[in-house]
Structure 1
Amino acid sequence: MAAGELAVTSGMRLREFSCPLNIEVAAPRPDRQPATVELQAIAKYGFARQTAAQHPVLRSLDLYRRTERAAVVARSGRALWARRAELFIVDSVDTARMRLSGYLETTDPFAELHQRGAAYIRFGLDHPLRYRLVATGPATAATQQVADACFRFLRDTVQQCVDVGILHGDVTR
C-alpha cells in the first residue's frame, strides 16, 4: 500500500517506485514537510531527477519499515543465506553520498570478474586523479608497480574464466 501511495502522490514511474532502496526515501520529517527523493540510476533513461514524497506517504512507509518489512526480512533470512553465493552482500552504507559498498561471495569466476571490473571502475570514478596517475600518468617505479598489480589482479580472474571455459583466448598476450 505504501508503495502505491508513493507512486500516485509523487509521480514516480513503475520502475522508479518499485526500486528505491530504503536509504533513498527519508523518514517522516518533524515539520511534516515533503521529503525530496533523488532518482538517478532508476530514473527513466537514467536521467537524474527529483520528486517529493508527501508526509502521509512517508508515515506509511515508516510504519511498513518498522512492521511488515522487518517481518519479511526475518522470514527471508534462511532462504537468503542459502543463496548468498549469488547475492551482493552490503557491508557499508554511505547515506551522504547515497552509495552502498559490499561484495559478492561467489565461486563463479565470471561473477568475480564482474565484481573486480566494477571495483576498478568505481575506484576510477571515486578517485579520478589517482586513477589517472596510475593509468596514464608518468611511469615512476611506484605507479608502474601499482598499475602492474591492478592488471595482474584482473588478468588472473580472466585466466580463471578461461580455465573453466567461460571465456576463450590467450591471456598472456
Structure 2
Amino acid sequence: MELFSFPLMAAVIGNLSAQTAKAVIQALTHRSLSPGVVFASGGMPSSHSSTVAALTMAIGLYEGFGSSLFALSFIFTSVVAYDAMGVRLAAGRHAAALNILTEEFMKLRDLAKSDDPNRGKLVIQRFRERIGHSVGEVAAGLTFGAVIAYGVFHWWQPLA
C-alpha cells in the first residue's frame, strides 16, 4: 500500500500550483506582491477548479477513464466548477451591491448630528467581493489542474 496516493498528491499539487500561479499573475499584472493572495479565493486561475480537475484527471489516469470512481470524480468536478462560476460569482456580485449600501450607510452615519452616546459605535464593514470566478478563470483552473495531474502522473510512475 502506498503512503500517499497519486490522485491525492495530484490534487494537492494542483491546488498549491494554482494558488502560486495566482500570486505570480497578480505580481505581474498589478506590479505588487501580496502574500494574502496565496490564501484568498477568487482570481486567475481558479484553484478550486484546478484541484478537482487534477483529482479527476489523476483518477482517470490511475483507475481508468471508464471507472466508476472517475465518473464520480467527474460529476464532483462539474458541481465544483458550476458552483465557482455560478453561486460564488453571484455571491461576489451581491457583496459588491452590499458594499455600495455600506458606503451609503457610513455617509449617513457621518452626516447624522446627534448627542446620542452610541453615535459612531455602529460597526459597518465591507464584504469580500472576489469570492467567485469567471468562466475563463474556471476554464483556466480546469486546464491547469488536468495538465498538473498529467505531469505528476509521468513523474509518479518511475517512483511507484
Give the number of the structure with larger relative contact order, counting CA–CA contacts within 8 Å between residues 6 or more apart: 2
Q: Is TM (by shorter chain) over 0.5?
A: no
Higher helix share: 2
TM-score normalised over the length of structure 1: 0.26
TM-score normalised over the length of structure 2: 0.27
